[in-house]
């Protein structure tokens, strides 16, 4: 697969970071399956550290946030949040999400990141509330684990489509 083909197929798998996808291609990963390719994506993700990791995490949208409401999230993010019904919350649920997003950002300095595909809004809210009790170190590690899951799901989509 050429670099151009790889970027065309997988360029949006990392949220708003095609440069990281280019770094995956540079590793010459196994592209025989989504699971095999996932290892290359995880290797690049785990190589992002310190302030670069904070910047990367901050590139993710809030769940049920204003960017989703305005249609300013990536197609993958819109699909994932829509699968959880986050694009169709009533006013009270939306207000709860906005309040939790603010509390989470105030505590950790990053957005709440969760692989939400096929989860309910109630499950996501429970995750929010539980994770607010984590330490900043625990939460950064959990955010990375969640991104690893998101990457795998997005890669499977690319292979299925």
What residues are annotated to the active site?
A: 60
CB 113 within 8 A of CB 143: yes
Cα 91 from chain centroid (whole Å) = 24
Phi/psi for 101 (5° steps) reads: -55, -45
Please tell me the distance from the alpha carbon of residue 122 to that of residue 114, in angstroms, as a whole number. 13
CB 65 within 8 A of CB 98: yes
Phi/psi for 102 (5° steps) reads: -65, -45
109 backbone φψ class: left, alpha, beta (φ>0; ψ -120 to 50)? left
């Amino acid at each position: 697969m050429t670099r151009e083909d790889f970027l065309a197929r997988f360029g949006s798998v990392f949220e708003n970071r095609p440069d990281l996808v280019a770094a995956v291609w540079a590793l010459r990963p196994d592209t025989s399956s989504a699971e095999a390719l996932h290892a290359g994506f995880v290797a690049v993700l785990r190589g992002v550290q310190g302030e670069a990791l904070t910047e990367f995490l901050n590139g993710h949208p809030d769940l049920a946030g204003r960017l989703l409401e305005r249609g300013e999230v990536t197609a993958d993010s819109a699909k994932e949040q829509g699968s959880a019904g986050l694009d169709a919350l009533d006013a009270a649920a939306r207000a709860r999400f906005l309040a939790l997003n603010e509390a989470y950002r105030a505590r950790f300095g990053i957005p709440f990141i969760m692989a939400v595909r096929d989860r309910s809004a109630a499950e996501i809210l429970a995750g929010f509330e539980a994770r607010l009790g984590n330490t900043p170190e625990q939460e950064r590690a959990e955010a990375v684990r969640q991104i690893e899951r998101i990457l795998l799901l997005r890669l499977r989509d690319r292979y299925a489509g």
